[in-house]
Every structure is written in C-alpha cells, then in structure tokens.
Amino acid sequence: WVLTAAHCVVDRSRNARSSKIYTVAVGAHRLSEVSQSQKIRVSKVIIHPDYNDKTMVNDVALLKLERPVNNVQLLNLNNRSSLPKTGTNATVIGWGALWEDGDYPDVLRQVSLPIVSNATANKAQSYGGDITQEMLAAGYSKGGKDSCQGDSGGPLIVKEDGEWLQVGVVSWGHGCARANKYGIYARVSKYVDWIEGRIGSETGNQTKKPSIVVQPKSILIEPGSDVSFSVDAIGTGPLDYQWYFNGKPISGENQSLLTLKNAGRDNDSGKYYVVVSNNYGSVTSLSAELQFIDVIPLAEALDASMLIWSNGGDANWTGQMATASIANSSSAQSGTIHNNEQTWVQTTIQGPGVLSFQWKVSSETDWDYLALLVDGSEKRRISGEVDWNKMSISIGSGRHQLRWVYKKDKYLSSGKDAAWLDQVKFQSGQVNASESLVHEQFSTNENTRTWNIDVEGEIYFPNWSAETKSLEVKLEDENVWIFANNGVMEGAFTGNYNDPRVKRISTDIWVSQNSNLTSVSFYFLSSESNQLFMYDIDQLPNSDGWNEISASLGSGDWYSIGDELKFGAPSNAALHSVSEVGVFLIAGASDSLTTVRLDNFKLNGEETDQELIKPILSLPRHNFKVDEKITVLFDRS
C-alpha cells in the first residue's frame, strides 16, 4: 500500500482516477535511474470519502499495489494526537520544484522545517482561518524553505524516541517558501483509523460478498463536459463490475470507474448504477443521475451577437441567468473548473475603438481571478467578491484578440468559485485622446488587506479607521514598514520611469503636534537586484492634520542599500522589477503612542501634471501605458 494525497489522484468529477494509469516506482533516489527501481502496478485507488477539493480537507488517498514491496523500510504512521508538538523539527522529502515555478531536481531532496501551530497558521497574514484540525502546518514565518509543486503526496516525518514517524502528507500552500505562507499537510494522526480500516477491509482473510463503501454521486454539468461516476466497494477479490444506464448494461464498462467523454447528448441524461459481484454474491449501487444545465447561446448571453465567440481551457463558458444576472437578463458564466485550471471565452475585433463590458467574480481573494487579455497581454484583473462592475478600455488600430479568463491557483476555493461577463460592446472608430477610457470605483477600505505592516520583523495588517477613512498605525520607539508587496503589484510597476510625466511618489500623512516621529522615508524594493531604494523626507510633518509628502523618482537624493550604499535615482530596470513599495517610519522613545495615518498613496506625474498614472490604494493590477489618458473616479475617501 502507498499513502498519498487525494488531489494527486482525483479526476474532474472528484472521483478516483482509474488504477490502470498508475505504476509505483519503489526505491528510486535519482529520477534518471528510476528504470532500475521496483516497478509495481496499482490495482486500486481509494480517496478519502470526505475529501473536499475546495477546502482541501481530508486530502489523503491510498494506492493498493498488485504485489508486496521487497527490501524497503516502511515508515510508521503517527497515531498520537499529541504529536507533533509545535516547534518540533520535521523533515519533508520529495522531487518537487526547487523554488516556486522553478526547476525540478533529479536527486531526491529533503528539508528540515519546524512544526507551526494551527493558531499561527490561521492568523490573518497567513491563511485566515482556512486551516482545520485535519491539517498540519510547517515552515518559517520569514519563508525561504518549504515543500513545493511536485512534492504533493510525499511524507512529513519526525523522529520520536529513535523512531521515524510520518506525521503529515504534503497537501497545499500558497506559493512556495513565501513569508507567513506555511506549507500545509494532511495530519496523519486523524486518518490512522480510516487507513487501517480500509487496508483491513481489503486484505481480510474471511470470505465475504461485496459491499459498497462509497456510492456513485449524481452530477449536474454543462453539455460537452467530461464526466465520471465511481464506486468504492470491498469484498473478497476478484471483484467484477458492470455499469448500467437506465436499466440496460453498458457494453465494456466493467471497472469501478465509468467515464463519459464530451457528455451532452439527450441520450446521455439519465440514471447510472453499477452491480459489483464476486464468487460469494453481488450488490447493486444506488442510482446516480446525470443532468445537464439549460444553456443560452454565448452571443445572446453577452448581448454581442455581432461578434463571433469561442470557448477554451479546461471547461466551457455557458450562457445562463440562474446564478448571476443584470436586471434579470442572461449573462455568461465561467465553466466549472478545479484547482490549477482555467476557463476562457474570447472573440476578435477590428480596432480602433472602445471596448466596454460588465464583469463579476466570486473567488478566493488574490489567488483565483478573472482577467481580460488583449492579444495575450493582461490588461485588467478582478478577484475576491466583486459585484457587477463596468469597465472600458481603448483598443488600438488593427485586429485584436480579446480573451476573458477565469483562472484558479493550485489550492482552495471561496465564494461561488465562478466568474461572469455581460453587456460586451465594441464601438469602433478613432478614439479621442481626451475621452475617458478607464473608470474605476473603489473603496480604500476594501483594499487595506493588500497592505502590511512590518514591526521589528513581525508582519501585521494595518488598522482601518472608519472615522478618518485612512490606514492607521500607532508607534512606540520602533521602526515600522508599511508596504504593498509583489502579491499586490504582481512583481512590477509598468511604464517608462525616465519619462518626464511619470516622476513622483506621494502620500497624505497625518501626525499629531507632539508626535515622536523622527524619520519618514519612501522606499522601493527591487527583486531584480535585491536592492532597497530609499528617499528620506527632509521636512517632517509636525502639526495636527493632513500633510502631503512626495518625492521625485528622478531625484539624486534617492539612495540604494545592497552590496554597498549608493546615491542616485532608481534605474528604469529596478523600477520595472519592484516587489515591494511603501513608507518607512522611525519613532523615538516616548511615554505615549504616536498615531500616524496614511491615505492616497500613489505614483503620478510632475506636480504640474494632475494625471494619475498608477493608483496604489486601488485595484492595483491594472497596467497603464504612459501615453494613455486615464480618468480615475474616487469615492469620498
């Protein structure tokens, strides 16, 4: 038997994949020499019956091998709920990526990580409550070491009283080795009874007729989707399977898994069940019903019958009006996809002109998103819980492909896990440079989650003051960094920073007259050179109320801290690889806390040019061209 993660062996219908596609290589150390290892075929795949691919709860599975493994030392499973203790060093092993989205090794790797309490992993700056008692966290708050893509299903082990125990199964995490984003593992002690029970039911010596442990499930799908039905049965082997559709046997379908490709014909809709038999008797499963969603043609749903539409990705978009609509009319909804998949709808237009549309998303914030791509280049993105929102964008001359894509990361789901699109219009004709092409409405309050506070190495979220409608920080005698990181900025600010129209960084800051604030600096952190660029504000605000402070990006007063201290403006290359931007505050000793408030943090043009080039406390993933006229509509805050 092999213990692994359920998400490694589950199909799109959330059923265990066919055992026929798996072979286990036992004893390999180098992947290049895997041909020299023991090769054993898998005879059965068993996923935990309560596995949930949205929450990643119960992410464990068993692979039954056709024959025993020879000359391999086996790990013992940890069955003690008191282990492992927080702070215990654990080891995780695998051939996963060496860094996030990086290369994969040939030689088996291992890394030592401390066990982290679920309370710590559930803090707002980490996973915000997504870690359940069936899960285990390990890693460093500063990041740097972690399991990664390709390690899934592998073991997390500890040494207890001279004995190696498997305490976890590599399950999920946000990125790899990111600060405060610990690796998450299935907690083995929660599953020992299930593991031993399933193995015992499969290998018992007593003769018994079949019984069904997990029944096939009814499914509602969009026409044209692949779908599967699965049954988990036990009994003295060998077990024979025969699937039935509406009471008639299906020729050739004699495995525990029934797969239907491109289902959608009327004669696919109905009831499916399976009869499992052996030499001692037979059992019939409950019926599972396959139903199809009534769909509306895409062009009709999008109010764009003059355009030709196509679908793609891992599932098709469909027209509907049951789950989300504007004024009770139809809209297009993203196809049902799973983790690490995407679904898109696209069309082609002839520019120049103005594109406008309404869109909406209900997803895991920041990690799953709906984006607009023009000729493969992302122009707009929304994520989290965003209600219907109208967007407009100018399109240049020539023929252009427009694609709206809903994309999920590798783990977790939230909300309705879907995206919607409606009222797509393209008005052709030359665009006047003075026309308002982009409209964004947002509440600063909704974007405080994209900012962080670093106080002496501890990361927190800033407070939102409803009274002053600003970010609020209370300082003692300490250094504080208030920043948006590359999870917000997507790794880079766009635009040519040598252009004279794009020259300033600014924010509104509020301090009291008796403030103990001794220093205020703007800063950029460049991932390209790992340099910290800073600009110290000479004249500190020293009176009650709001003051605007700013710095020229072209000023020689900037200095960089890297291998050595250098003075001068940040280079264009450095500004194109910004991974963090913010304000650095230093407070002196004081008997009382000093309150500092920030608002309207932005990058803009010269003081004489009021055109806003890059709003930071807004939807931050919008990339604007330097020569593109932009209008941004702010609310009162």
Catalytic residues, which ones? 7, 59, 152
User: ∠ at Cα 292 (287, 295), nearest 5°?
Assistant: 170
At residue 20, the 3 state secondary structure works out as: helix
d(CA 175, CA 411): 10
d(CA 155, CA 321): 46
Tally of helices (H runs) and strands (E runs) in the chain: 5, 43
Residue type, 55: T
Nearest to 211 by CA among 288, 289, 280, 258: 280
The residues, any chain, with a CB within 8 Å of residue 420's CB and separated by 6 or more, are 323, 324, 331, 332, 333, 334, 359, 360, 361, 388
d(CA 440, CA 390): 8
d(CA 283, CA 438): 63
Nearest to 494 by CA among 601, 609, 377, 334: 377
d(CA 20, CA 254): 13
In this structure, how many other beta carbons lie within 10 angstroms of the beta carbon of residue 546? 16
Nearest to 440 by CA among 583, 302, 603, 620: 620
Query: What does each C-alpha distance from 172 to 59, 100, 104 come to in angstroms?
Result: 9, 13, 18
Asked if 575 and 477 count as a contact pair (C-beta separation under 8 A), the reply is: no
- Say whether the peptide bond before residue 352 is cis (omega within 30 degrees of 0): yes
Which residues sit opposite 409 in a β-bridge?
none
d(CA 35, CA 56): 33
Beta strands in 22-103 (DSSP E): 23-26, 38-47, 61-65, 76-77, 89-94
Asked if 139 and 180 count as a contact pair (C-beta separation under 8 A), the reply is: no
